[in-house]
A = this chain, B = another copy of it.
Amino acid sequence: MDRSAEFRRSKAQFLGKADLSRKGSVDEDVVELVQLLNTRDQFFTTSSCAGRILLLDGIVALKKANGDAILKFEPFILHVQCRQLKDAQLLHSAAVASGFRNSGITVGKKGKTMMAVRSTHSLEVPLSHNGKLMVTEEYIDFLLNIANQKMEENKKRIERFYNCLQHALERETVTNSHPKIKEKNNSSYTHKKKRTPEKTCGKCITDENDEEPEHDDDDPGISVNIFPEEY
């Protein structure tokens, strides 16, 4: 079986399976995005989470978190299996241009190509220690506000990514079928498509670059390499 046929078979098999996530369905905020990808021959999504605010409770997470409660914001994450490396590259470009700077490609030994869309945004706040609450209720209100703001920003980025991706896929289709289109529609269609980027992908952050960020250096903060144990 050639690679393309094998990919089709894997896709059919994967998408035919039941959704084994705890929730059992795709999050509402990413349904369109997941559909956009799955209707394309070169992709299928293997997991997604639109983003979430988690309370890791001391009782539930006792074994792993030493009885400490933690509030966490986890941004959007998406895993997509891609037919070829060039498909993963297209997806990666759209992801980085939309602000998902921690995105990356994985290529398995047998050539299985995965793209993970990841954000740099996070929030992770320990709330209690050995069952003792270390912060005030006012602080928790404040934190939840911040977490909700991050969730909103996260949602905007997902929309931006959807637009960027849609545009990139359209452009790819136009490029691939260019000779035929030209035959039918003269050059006006090509011209029209050329103007689309600014419209559909106007929100893309094009000055962000994922190639060599030492860290997410949006923050011109003070770097303290090691704090003393006794502060």
Which A residues are within 8 Å of any B CB, using their own CB?
Answer: 21-22, 46-49, 52-57, 60-61, 64-65, 70, 72, 74, 77, 79, 85, 88-89, 92, 102-109, 114, 116, 118, 122-126, 129, 134-136, 138-148, 151, 210-216, 218-227, 229, 231
Contacts and interface: CB of A to CB of B under 8 A. Distances in A.
A57 B224 CA distance: 12
A49 to B, nearest CB: 5
Contacts of A22: 223
A188 to B, nearest CB: 28
A146 B122 contact: no
Nearest to A146: B126
Contact of A125 (B125, B222, B225): B125
Given A74-B216, A89-B109, A104-B106, 11 more contacts: A22-B223, A47-B212, A55-B224, A57-B222, A70-B219, A72-B221, A85-B107, A92-B107, A122-B124, A125-B125, A147-B227
A150 to B, nearest CB: 10
Contacts of A116: 102, 104, 210
Given A126-B143, A214-B47, A60 B220 contact: yes
A54 B104 contact: no
A224 B54 contact: yes
**Residue from A77, A151, A223 with most neighbouring chain B CB atoms (10 Å):** A223
A125 to B, nearest CB: 5
A216 to B, nearest CB: 8
A142 B125 contact: no
Contact of A56 (B70, B108, B222): B222
A46 B212 contact: yes
B106 A227 contact: no
Nearest to A49: B214
